[in-house]
Structure 1
Amino acid sequence: MLVLISLILSGFWFLTNFPRLGLIKVILSYLVLSYLCSIHLTFVGVAVVDGVEAVYCDSSNKILESRQDWVKKVFDNDSQLLEWYKHECFNIQPSAFRARIVSLKQQFNQSEGFYILQTRSGCEWEESTGEKFGFLKYGYNGEDFIELDLNTLSWASLKPEADTTKQSWDADRNRTKLNKVFLTDICPERLKSFLEFGNSSLQRTVPPSVSLLQKSSSSPVSCHATGFYPDRAVMFWRKDGEKVHEGVEIGDILPNDDGTFQMSVNLNVSSFTPEEWSRFDCVFQLSDVEKIIVTKLNKTLIRTNWKEKMTKETSGRSRLREGRGHLLRPVGLREGRQEKDMLWKRDRDE
């Protein structure tokens, strides 16, 4: 099993270009937004394990919280690890990011304003072979900037403007060696401590609830899956058993508040004849799970706001015609709209 821990200090620029993505079984990511506006630095981070929020860091308000029970067990078992995270969150990283942003502002002769420095770093660990891989990459103001090559122990510019920074950072050999030690030695140990207590939770699979949704009669039909875990899943439309690409829009996998995920895949049905509908179905499959969930394209199964609205309006008119023993009486006016906008309340015999 290949597991990955990635320390990501990032704002709008994270979750892209993970190394060896196709082999990843478990991901631990620290996502941190750090920006400098005038003299005020904001440094907020979230540790995400396989897409599940694990630890929350807010250096400005001195907050470090465990978001999962198994993370609390990790910290209860290793108080020094908890102190390490606090020290990184409250002291080391905010100070380092402030200094680097100020340096970059001076390098580019930038005035006061809003500046973002992001970094993504971490390690992969192949449990069966013991192989370890590290990576470290910076972004500045939302663009790739510079990254560390652990094979040559040198920095690589990702844009011409980073050449000056590369020269300066290459000269700091001690810092580069410390980065290598963290990425290839310390980082995998951090990962193992989380897996020791969280592996059973991280390796679980939860199937989704799948629904067909449509905003209006002319809108695409959306096949929506929610509540699944982990976030490694595929979803697509088929016609006569063959995968369809034309007229299909696949959405991103997004997190739910409970640690599960959701995704949608839309199908343009505007040109379909009634006979064609029965030839389509939606397929969902979790990674490493053989079973697939198939949902037939059926008009009677589609949930849509416009149908519900029509049903409510029709039902409302019927009740007014029939009366059913209820009276509607005005109880007040909406403030500022006294012409026609009245609130109504139903009187009932009690």
Structure 2
Amino acid sequence: MVPVLLSLPLLLGPAVLQETGSYSLVFLYTGVSRPNKGIPRFQATAFLNDQGFFHYNSNSGKAEPMGPWNQLEGMEDWEKESQLQRAREEIFLVTLKDIMDYYKDSAGSHTFQGMFGCELLNNRSNGAFWKYAYDGQDFIKFNKEIPAWIPLDPAAESTKLKWEAEKIYTQRAKAYLEEECPAMLRRYLNYSRSHLDKTNPPTVTITSRAGPGRNRIFKCLAYDFYPQGISLHWTQAGKVLTSISGGVLPNGNGTYLSWVEVEVPPQDRDPYFCHIEHSGLSQSLSVQWDETKKPKPERNVATQPQEVTLSA
């Protein structure tokens, strides 16, 4: 699930692609023992699906809505939310100090990160999680079925004892994940569903360049699409080819981009197709590399914007 920690957490695991009818509420916390100038000692970002909707940091002491949510009235009591985040900041930084004391990590700067949240699928609770990492390594996680905190690091044993000595920490975490978080998410969806349900179809660009041994490399780039779930691959004579993928990356404007490359022998003049599937397309899209520098769509091409940029 689902930084700030690089948009959605690289250190705590990759983001999960949203299914149709699936919505998630995820909080990301970062505490730094010796922050660089201008960097907050503590910051928190909340995400609805993969979209940041509010941010808090220790410099401002305020929780403030982000993106389209800063135009909405009544979605949240932001002063109350700021007070809650200030309280969580205090507990978070105390835990960071406890870990540093355990390891006698007085030199350098150290980072403590937390991520927790829940998911609804077709308006029913479909899972929740709560976990922490220290200096990029798994530290402790919550198992709501037991319920208990599960140590993943030697220093986490004392954290577990401290948190479970006050049963409210365990009971509160379970209640939050099973009741409060899904209830909040349902309330937020009253304001956010139309924004989260938007779809932007991909624009596709195909390029060719010389590769090792004079082989050619065909690159298929899909960009400006939302949501992030996409299938992208090369085919030849109906067969899916082994290729290199660039994954799915943020595009910087609320959309995503992805690419896939295939290496082709120079003498091979058979047609190669880039095949794309995305929820923004009414049907799958296949675009052929054309030596005459014109796109040749197959019959199943959807009526969507296409670009074919060719290079030697």
TM-score, normalising length from structure 1? Answer: 0.72
Residues 201 and 21 of structure 1, relative CA distance in 2, 3 Å threshold:
closer
Which consecutive residues of structure 2, in runs of 5 or more, have no partner in the other structure?
A: 295-307
Deviation at 1:176, TM superposition (A): 1.0
SS in 1 for 2:88: helix
Residues 100 and 9 of structure 1, relative CA distance in 2, 3 Å threshold:
farther
Match of 1:111 among 96, 106, 115: 106
Deviation at 1:79, TM superposition (A): 4.8
Q: Is the 8 A contact 2:206 2:221 kept in 1?
A: yes
Is residue 250 of structure 2 the alignment partner of residue 255 of structure 1?
A: yes
Which consecutive residues of structure 1, in runs of 5 or more, have no partner in the other structure?
A: 1-5, 308-350
Is residue 210 of structure 2 the alignment partner of residue 217 of structure 1?
A: yes
| Letter paired with 1:252 | G
Q: Is the 8 A contact 1:13 1:142 kept in 2?
A: yes
Deviation at 1:9, TM superposition (A): 8.2
Equivalent in the alignment of 1:16: 14
Equivalent in the alignment of 2:81: 85
Matches within 5 A, 1:307-346: none
Segments of 4+ in structure 1 off by > 6 A? Answer: 6-9, 20-24
Q: Distance in 2 between matches of 1:138 and 1:284?
A: 36
Equivalent in the alignment of 1:94: 89
Percent sequence identity is 21
Deviation at 1:77, TM superposition (A): 1.5
Matches within 5 A, 1:138-177: 138-177=132-171
Is residue 117 of structure 2 the alignment partner of residue 122 of structure 1?
A: yes
SS in 1 for 2:195: helix
Q: Distance in 1 between matches of 2:15 and 2:166?
A: 27
Equivalent in the alignment of 2:298: none
Q: Distance in 2 between matches of 1:163 and 1:240?
A: 57
SS in 1 for 2:47: strand
CA RMSD of aligned residues (A): 3.0
Deviation at 1:199, TM superposition (A): 0.7
| Letter paired with 1:293 | L
Q: Distance in 1 between matches of 2:96 and 2:145?
A: 27
Max radius of gyration: which structure? 1
Is residue 192 of structure 2 the alignment partner of residue 198 of structure 1?
A: yes
Q: Distance in 2 between matches of 1:63 and 1:171?
A: 31
Match of 1:236 among 218, 233, 237: 233
SS in 1 for 2:260: strand
Deviation at 1:43, TM superposition (A): 2.1
- How many equivalent residue pairs? 289
Residues 88 and 55 of structure 1, relative CA distance in 2, 3 Å threshold:
same
Residues 68 and 22 of structure 1, relative CA distance in 2, 3 Å threshold:
closer
Bigger helix share: 1
Deviation at 1:62, TM superposition (A): 4.0
Residues 125 and 274 of structure 1, relative CA distance in 2, 3 Å threshold:
closer
Deviations 1:19-60 (A, max 9, x none): x97687223333343211179962233333332332233332
Matches within 5 A, 1:296-311: 296-299=288-291, 300=293, 303=309
Deviation at 1:72, TM superposition (A): 3.5
Is residue 274 of structure 2 the alignment partner of residue 282 of structure 1?
A: yes
Equivalent in the alignment of 1:334: none
Q: Is the 8 A contact 2:32 2:42 kept in 1?
A: yes
Q: Is the 8 A contact 2:25 2:181 kept in 1?
A: no
SS in 1 for 2:200: coil
Equivalent in the alignment of 1:25: 22
